[in-house]
Amino acid sequence: MAIHKGRGFACINYPIGMNLGGDPAQALVHSTPDGKFMVALSAIDLGQGMKSVTRQIASETLGVPVEDVYVDTADSDTGPHDMGSFASRGTHRVGNAVIRASAEARKQMMEAAAEELEVNAADLDTDGKGNIHVKGAPSRSITVADTAMAAQFKQGRTLSGRGIFLIPPSEADAETGEMTPVTCFAHAALVIDLEVDDETGEVTVTQINSAYEVGRALNPRLVEQQLIGGAWMGVSHALYETTEPYYPDRSHGPTDFNTYLMPGPGQIVPHHIAVLERPAEDAPFGGKGPGEMCANPVLPAIANAIYNAVGVRCDRLPITPEKVLRGLQANGGAKPQGLR
C-alpha cells in the first residue's frame, strides 16, 4: 500500500461567442451634465466581472477616467437588448457593443470640445484623466466636465452613443458540417501533479502549472480570478461532482451540499499560472473570454496524471475513489508509468 505520484498534461482551445453567431449585444452610453458617463446594458454580472470589464472598455474608448464611468445593467425598460451571459460571449460581444457606443459618444465629446477650444476635433486627444487637449499642446485643454456642461447647456448637443455588435447567423452544412462556428479562440495548456493512494483510491492534486492565452487580459485581476476559480472547478468536476453517481441509473442522486461533493476553499490547489496575450482581431482590445475555457484542460490532465501514477485509465467522469480502486483491482495493483 503506497502513495504514488503522477503527472499529466492536456491542452485545449475554446470558441468565443455563441456558435454560428446570431447573438447580438447592444449598449447605450450617455453623459451626465457634468461629464460622467452612464453605460446602459442588459448583460448579466454572474460574478465574472461583466460590469467591471465593460466599464473599463468604456473608459478606454471614451478616454475618460474609469471612476467617471458607471455601468447600469440589466433593466429591460432602460437597457437595450443583449442575448445573455453565456457561451463566453460577454467580453467579446458586449465589449464590442460598448466600444461602438463609447466611440460614438467620444466623437460627440470631441466635437463639443473642439467648438469650445475653437480648433478642429481631429487635432484633439484625451489624456484619460478627465481632460481634452490639443495634440502636442497640452496647455490648450478643456476638462471633460466643462465639455459636457457646454454641450448640454450651451451647444444643445448630447454626448451619447449607441452600439451593436453582431456576427450574423449562419448554418452548419448537413452533409459535411461545414460552418463558421466562431471568429476567435482562446487557448490553454496545463500540467497536473497529483498523488494516488492505492489503498483508498483517493486522488490528491498537489500542483498545477499552466499557460492560458486570453487575447488580452483586459483586467489582470479578473483574469486571475477566473483562472484560479476555473481550475478549482475543473478539479471538482474531475474528481467529485455528479448529480447521478451511477449514471445512467438515477439512484443515489445528491440533493444538497452534504452529498454533492466539492473541494472546499482550503483545498484550492497551488497553481502557477502564465498568461499569454495574442489579441484577436475582432475582439475588444483583443480580449477573449477566459471564463469558460479555463476549467476544461484540468479534467483530462488529471485523468492522464492518474494513469501516469498507477496505470489506471479513467475514462468516466467523475473519477471517484471507487473507480480508481476497481481499476487497480482489474490491473492487479498499481503500475506506475514512470517519472516525468
Q: Which helix (H) or strand (E) holds 279?
A: none
| Least spacing, CB of residue 1 vs another protein, in Å | 26
Nearer to another protein, 1 or 264 (CB): 264
| Least spacing, CB of residue 24 vs another protein, in Å | 9
| Least spacing, CB of residue 105 vs another protein, in Å | 9
d(CA 14, CA 200): 35
| Least spacing, CB of residue 138 vs another protein, in Å | 15
d(CA 216, CA 262): 31
d(CA 306, CA 95): 40
Nearer to another protein, 1 or 177 (CB): 177
| Cα→Cα distances 86→82, 94, 185, 271, 333, Å | 11, 11, 15, 26, 44
Nearer to another protein, 279 or 325 (CB): 279
In the sheet that holds 25-31, the strands lie side by side as 69-72, 37-40, 25-31, 160-165
To the nearest 10°, the Cα dihedral for 269, 272, 278, 282? 20
Closest by CA position to 62, among listed 20, 89, 34, 31? 31
Nearer to another protein, 39 or 117 (CB): 39
Nearer to another protein, 3 or 228 (CB): 228
| Least spacing, CB of residue 264 vs another protein, in Å | 13
Cell 453565456 sits at which residue?
Answer: 86
CA 139 to chain centre: 40
Q: Are 183 and 167 in contact (CB under 8 A)?
A: yes
| Least spacing, CB of residue 187 vs another protein, in Å | 4
In one-letter notation, the amino acid at residue 151 is A
Q: Are 114 and 124 in contact (CB under 8 A)?
A: yes
Nearer to another protein, 149 or 184 (CB): 184
| Least spacing, CB of residue 326 vs another protein, in Å | 15
Nearer to another protein, 148 or 184 (CB): 184
| Least spacing, CB of residue 117 vs another protein, in Å | 19
| Least spacing, CB of residue 221 vs another protein, in Å | 4
Angle between helices 50-62 and 95-117 (to 10 degrees): 30
Residue 10: CB atoms within 10 A of its CB come to 20
Nearer to another protein, 39 or 148 (CB): 39
Q: How many CA atoms lie within 13 A of 73 on its CB side?
A: 29
Which of helix, strand or coil describes residue 197? strand
Which of helix, strand or coil describes residue 41? coil
Q: Are 99 and 54 in contact (CB under 8 A)?
A: no
Nearer to another protein, 180 or 199 (CB): 180
